[in-house]
Copies of this chain bind each other. A is one copy, B any other.
């Protein structure tokens, strides 16, 4: 199993940088005062498709051979990765097949269709999704681009931290959310490759704490029926992301649902930017652990800003 190094993430960055948005790093005096530390928000909510996922998807697509590109890509996802892969494929003239559960919200179906992807609907079970994906791969020869269990995807996700540290190199701590672990893997490999003294922390909902348990016990332990408003963090670590996280991450902290919602609203109200619940976990970590973060310079990876305003969790 190949583990990404800083050079892999730098190579990914060279590959994707003309396709992605270089997102801003925002700060807030009010939030710095409130939590008595210096917060630097790396705003992937302003990334194309509204999430960091576009970095990984683009790197995966650009890393394919010409022969592979002719046959297209496939993934199963109903979230940000589906939209990201659809757009990355379209921008490179590649066919994208997305397997989605027939129960996926209409807004997500429309987003993926809007990027020109071919959608295959299936029953809302993991087995049905994997079967449908396999069938497409057999029929078309399309390359599977897994949302996080994929070396090139992970390297792409790590480029958000690369941009952050290129602009702000004196951070004490970097915090990223953890679901399947693609973002945290890429972030931690990048940060530790640049400076081992910078702490890397994963932020995870208490109600979907498979990464916390796996990290604490050393045994990969998937979630069973996770239930959190942070809908981007329902997935569990893979062998690959777990290996990278074990090597590079200092600790994983869990946060409560009410803190996630409170911190999401705080960012909306004070910073006037939309972040999704998954992104709010990083600020929730700061809020729930004041002693760990007081006086520190902290980079927060804000993973995305895709919120369904007709179904708010408060």
What residues make up the interface of A, taking CB atoms closer than 8 Å to B? 45-46, 50, 265, 268-269, 272-275, 305, 307, 309-310, 312, 314
Which residues on B sit within 8 Å (CB–CB) of A45?
272
Secondary structure at the A interface, as helix, strand, loop or mixed, is loop
Cα distance, A50 to B28, chains bound together (Å) = 12
Contact B50 A268 (CB under 8 A): no
Of the A-B pairs whose beta carbons lie under 8 Å apart in the complex, a sample of 9, sorted by A's number, is A45-B272, A268-B274, A268-B309, A269-B274, A272-B274, A273-B274, A274-B274, A309-B312, A309-B314
How many of these chains are in the complex?
A: 2
Question: Across the interface, which residues of B come within 8 angstroms of A273, CB to CB?
Answer: 272-274
Min Cβ gap A107→B in Å is 9
Shortest C-beta distance, A135 to chain B (Å), equals 33
Q: How far is the CA of A309 from the CA of B268 in the complex (A)?
A: 9
Q: State the CA gap A272–B23 with chains docked (Å).
A: 12
Q: What chain B residues lie within 8 Å of A265 (beta carbons)?
A: 309
Q: Which of B269, B309, B312 contacts A269 (CB 8 A)?
A: B309
Min distance, Cβ A173 to any Cβ of chain B, angstroms: 25
Q: Which residue of the partner chain B has the closest CB to A275?
A: B272
Closest residue of B by beta carbon distance from A47 = B272
Closest CB-CB distance, A277 to chain B, in whole Å? 13
Residues of chain B lying within 8 A (CB to CB) of residue A268? 274, 307, 309
CA distance A220 to B30 in the complex (A): 41
For A107, the closest partner residue in chain B by CB is: B269
Closest beta carbon of chain B to A129's beta carbon, Å: 27
A305: chain B residues at CB < 8 Å are 272
Taking a contact as CB atoms under 8 Å apart, the answer to whether B309 and A272 are in contact is: no
What 10 pairs across the A-B complex have the smallest Cβ distances?
A: A272-B305, A272-B274, A45-B272, A268-B274, A273-B273, A46-B272, A265-B309, A272-B273, A50-B272, A268-B309
- A174→B307 CA distance, assembly (Å): 30
Q: How far is the CA of A274 from the CA of B273 in the complex (A)?
A: 5
Minimal Cβ-Cβ distance residue in B for A267: B274
Residues of chain B within 8 A (CB-CB) of A312 are 309, 312
CB proximity of A269 to chain B, nearest CB, Å: 7
Cα distance, A292 to B211, chains bound together (Å): 54
Closest to A270 in B: B50
**Nearest chain B CB to A88's CB is how many angstroms away?**
16
**Nearest chain B CB to A260's CB is how many angstroms away?**
15
Cβ contacts under 8 Å, A275 to chain B: 272
Q: Give the shortest distance, in Å, between A153 (CB) and chain B (any CB).
A: 23
User: Bound state CA distance, A272 and B274, in angstroms?
Assistant: 5
Chain B residues positioned under 8 Å from A269 (CB to CB): 274, 307, 309
**A50, A265, A269, A272 — which one has the most chain B CB atoms within 10 A of its CB?**
A272
With both beta carbons as reference points, the residue of chain B lying nearest to A265 in the complex is identified as: B309
A249 CA to B247 CA, complexed, in Å: 63
Beyond A268-B274, A269-B274, list 5 extra A-B contacts (CB 8 Å): A46-B272, A269-B307, A272-B275, A309-B314, A312-B312
